[in-house]
Chains A and B, each alone.
Chain A
Amino acid sequence: MASTSRTILICSGKGGVGKTTLTANLGIALARLGLRTVVLDADFGLRNLDLLLGLENRIVFTAQEVLAESCRLEQALVKHKQEPNLALLPAGNPRMLEWLKPEDMQTIAGMLEKQFDYVLIDCPAGIEDGFKNAVAAAKEAIVITTPEVSAVRDADRVIGLLNTHGVKPVQLVLNRVRPKMMASQEMLAVDDVTDILALPLLGLVLEDEQVIVSTNRGEPLTLNGSSSPAARAYGNVARRLQGDDVPLIDPSKEGRGLRAKVRRLMQKKIF
């Protein structure tokens, strides 16, 4: 099984667009599909993947001790309470940034790939050392962005870097979509984003208050079988990764107003 292991970097360029939220929710969703999944926090500076998963208080060792060989990998892995198929490898001390090298990340990923079907790496924002370390360990990537010009620009930048590092395939998740704003053209449309980034769209996640609620609780939405739009979207991303042909939601159908719908239909015809 280890030979089919998939190591996927979840990255964005711009900060705060939803990398950690996606990593946590996708981790749970994949685990619920019966896949052995580990999430690796590569954001050593501002680690919070443990927090989102509600595992903060169970961390004893981290990737740092594993690399220093002062503990075994099994000791550092934190198994999720309710979802035993999911484990977290916590980030070490922020000081790790000073000595961590791309090879170290490759070492860790290599160890994880032996035991897990999916290795999801939560990437730090930016394109500096933290990103470079994380990308070294990745085979494929999911780029997440919001429909904002600045986020799309940074995503484009990151995709260029992923290409030069030979990371393939690179797929796109569009987060915090607000159908009403899209319909009234106050927000970039889905087409505008995919047009520039030219990546296959792996998922479309609506703006959803439940995300924030669940974040604060340390219980990812996908954990409790929520049927909120974002929970469904994360679940669909997991199934698409597994090769299921799940249709994307159409934000225009989620929005209101006949005019917006007609306009959208016409735009589709033209392009």
Chain B
Amino acid sequence: MAADQNSGLLQRLVLPPIKQAHWKDTLPDQLQRLRPGSLNLISHHWQMRCRDLSSLIKLLQGEGFRIASFHTQEPLTAISAQALGLPVQLLESDPMASDATPSDDSGDQSSDTKPDCTTQLRLHRGTLRAGEQIETAGDLLVLGDVNPGANVAAAGDVMIWGRLRGIAHAGRDGDRAAKVVALQLRPLQLRIADQVARGPDDRPQPGLAEEARIDANEIVIEPANPRLRARMSVPATD
């Protein structure tokens, strides 16, 4: 159902709804119905880490496909895609649609779907320097570093495509399921809901994204593990 061979327009590849099937299983079939070449990839609510994404890209390349643009509703996936140099469009996230089947209405979603950020996601491009701060009522996505002396806070998740070396507060209004994700998590101080932690002292491992979340009343920091994704993608809503 993903193959859409509108002549003139770029063909689109729409990943299946999360609950129906895994994209890895459906992909070979889907690709069969497409002509090798450029395509727009719509991943909807799939949460993908760099590792998932690069395996997807490899699979596509193997069959002669190239991603012309990458559409997602997941900030985390957007971060990964950005990291791999894909042209990313973060789609407006429809909270109703997140559990529905995104492929149903995908027919009228053309590649020029407004890449508008949600009202819930605040996107900041560029490094935040000492003395600068951002606060937002939704999720926060920073494409850049958060330097020592800078301060970011969000009612939802704080996601940093860069190094966090300042202070970050996720779940500012008390959401204990909120998390902080960064390519390098070496904050001066980290807060999730009402929990406070100092950043770790050891040197970060290069190339690993890390995330902080509350586990048994403690803030834990660990490599953002792609295998944890499924679990993480069903956060408790308040």
Instruction: Show 26 residue pairs from A and B whose CB-CB distance is below 8 angstroms, ordered by the A residue.
Output: A149-B148, A153-B130, A153-B148, A154-B130, A156-B130, A156-B131, A156-B148, A156-B149, A157-B130, A157-B131, A157-B149, A159-B129, A160-B128, A160-B129, A160-B130, A160-B131, A160-B132, A163-B129, A196-B145, A196-B147, A196-B148, A196-B165, A198-B127, A198-B145, A270-B206, A271-B206
CB distance from A111 to the nearest CB of B (A): 32
Most chain A beta-carbon contacts within 10 A, residue among B149, B165, B206: B149
Are A156 and B206 neighbours in the complex by a CB distance under 8 Å? no
Cα-based distance from A153 to B165 in the complex (angstroms): 12
B140-155: CB near A (< 8 Å → 1, else 0) gives 0000010111000000
Say how far B183's CB is from chain A's closest CB, in angstroms.
13
Are the CB atoms of B206 and A153 closer together than 8 Å?
Answer: no
Query: Number of A interface residues, CB 8 Å?
Result: 12
Interface size class of B (residues with CB under 8 A): 10 to 19
Instruction: Identify the 7 closest CB pairs spanning chains A and B, nearest first.
Output: A160-B129, A156-B130, A157-B130, A157-B131, A156-B129, A153-B130, A153-B149
Residues of A close to B132: CB separation below 8 A: 160
Chain B contacts for A270, CB-based, 8 A:
206
Interface residues of A (CB under 8 A from B): 149, 153-154, 156-157, 159-160, 163, 196, 198, 270-271
At the interface, is chain A mostly helix, strand, loop or mixed?
helix
Cβ of A103 to closest chain B Cβ, rounded Å: 25
Interface centre among A154, A160, A163 (most CB of B within 10 A): A160
A159 to B126, CA, bound (A): 13
Complex Cα–Cα for A153 and B150 (A): 10
CB within 8 A of A157: which of B129, B145, B165, B206? B129
A160 to B145 alpha-carbon distance, docked (Å): 13
Write the nearest CB–CB distance from B190 to chain A, whole angstroms.
Answer: 18
Which chain A positions have C-beta within 8 A of B130? 153-154, 156-157, 160
- Closest partner residue, chain B, to A159 (CB atom): B129
- Nearest Cβ in chain A — how far from B165, in angstroms? 7
A196 to B206, CA, bound (A): 16
- In the complex the two chains form, what is the Cα distance from A269 to B183 in whole Å? 20
Residue of A nearest to B206 (CB): A270
Q: How far is the CB of A29 from chain B (nearest CB, A)?
A: 29
Q: How far is the CA of A163 from the CA of B129 in the complex (A)?
A: 10
Report the minimal beta-carbon distance from B38 to chain A, rounded to whole angstroms.
Answer: 34
Give the distance in Å from the alpha carbon of A153 to the alpha carbon of B188 in the complex. Answer: 13
Tell me, rounded to whole Å, the shortest Cβ–Cβ distance linking B159 to chain A: 20
A200 to chain B, nearest CB (A): 15
Q: Which residue of B lies closest to A162 (CB)?
A: B129
In the bound complex, residues from chain A placing their C-beta under 8 Å from that of B131 are 156-157, 160
Q: Tell me the complex Cα distance, A149–B206, Å.
A: 22
Smallest CB separation, B188 vs chain A (Å): 11
Determine the distance from Cα of A271 to Cα of B129 in the docked complex, in whole angstroms.
22
Inter-chain contacts of B165 with A (CB < 8 A)? 196
